[in-house]
Amino acid sequence: MSQAPEPRKTLDPDQVAFWLARHPDFFVGREGLLQQLKVPHPNIDGAVSLLERLVIDLRARAETAEGRLEQLLDAARHNEAQYRRLRETLLALVEADDRDALAQALATQMSERFDTPALALWCPPELSDAEPAPPQPPRHVLNQHASARLAALLDGRTSRCAKLGVSDWKCLLPHVSPPKKAGSCAVTRLSAGEPLGYLLLASPDPEQYRASMDTLFTEYLGDITARLLIRLSPHG
C-alpha cells in the first residue's frame, strides 16, 4: 500500500514578514528577485514592481509629512501673531492712568486686535464710591438687574462663552447699539481676593463666541484687568 503524501506545507505570511524584517540584507545580491516581485498598485487595478511600489509609498509618506509640517508651521505663525497682539494689548492696559482709561483701552485693543466690537466692564458700586466722577462707558456700575443677567450667563462658572440675546445686549451693553438678532459673548468673573465685577466681550456674530470654545484667554484677560482695577484705586 502506497503511503499517502504529506500535506503541503505553506509559509505563514506573518512569519515571512518577521523573518525579512530580521534580515534586511536578504535581497543584497538578489536584485533579480526584486524585479520579479509584483504587488498590487495602491490606486488602480494591476500590479507593479516592488521598487515602483516602494517609490509610490515613499512619495505618499513624504506628502503626508509635508502636510503635517505645514500644519505645524501654520499653528506656530498663528500663535506668534496671537502673542504679539496680546503683548500690545497688555502694554496699552498697563499705561492706563485711571479705571475709565483702562476700560477704554481694553475696548479699543479688543476691537482693533481681536475683532471684538463690543465690551463692557461691570464693577460693584463700592469700587467707584471714592471716585470723583461716575464711571464712563464701557465701564458701568453693577446693579442688581445686570448682576442677575451676568450670573445667568455664567451659569455657575468662572467664565463662559454663550449666546447673547437682544434684550441681554441692551441690558449689559447699554452704550452699544444692539444687533437685530442674537449675538454671542464671552463673560468672566473678575476677582483678586475680592469680587470686582464682570468683563463682557460681545459680538453681533452668533458664531464668534461659541459655547464649545475655550475661555482661557478671557480668564487671563480678566485676571489682568482685575489686578489693574485694584492698582488704579484712588487710594492705591
Residue 127 pLDDT grade (very low, low, confident, very high; cuts 50, 70, 90): confident
- What would the pLDDT profile of 197-226 be if each residue is shown by its tens digit? 999 999 999 999 999 999 999 999 999 999
For residues 8-16, give the mean pLDDT: 75
| Residue-level pLDDT at 203 | 97
**C-alpha separations of 213 from 122, 128, 210 in Å:** 23, 33, 5
Rounded CA gap, 189 and 215, in Å? 12
For residues 98-103, give the mean pLDDT: 96
- Which residues lie below 8 Å from residue 8, measured CB to CB, with a gap of 6+? none
The answer on pLDDT for 31 being more than 80 is no
**Sign (positive or negative) of CA dihedral 147, 148, 152, 153:** negative
- What would the pLDDT profile of 142-192 be if each residue is shown by its tens digit? 999 999 999 999 999 999 999 999 999 999 999 999 999 999 999 999 998
For residues 97-125, give the mean pLDDT: 96
| Residue-level pLDDT at 18 | 83
For residues 196 and 21, the model is more confident at 196
Residue 23 pLDDT grade (very low, low, confident, very high; cuts 50, 70, 90): confident
| Residue-level pLDDT at 53 | 65
- What would the pLDDT profile of 35-73 be if each residue is shown by its tens digit? 666 666 666 666 556 667 677 777 788 888 888 989 989
| Residue-level pLDDT at 155 | 94
**Sign (positive or negative) of CA dihedral 18, 23, 24, 30:** negative
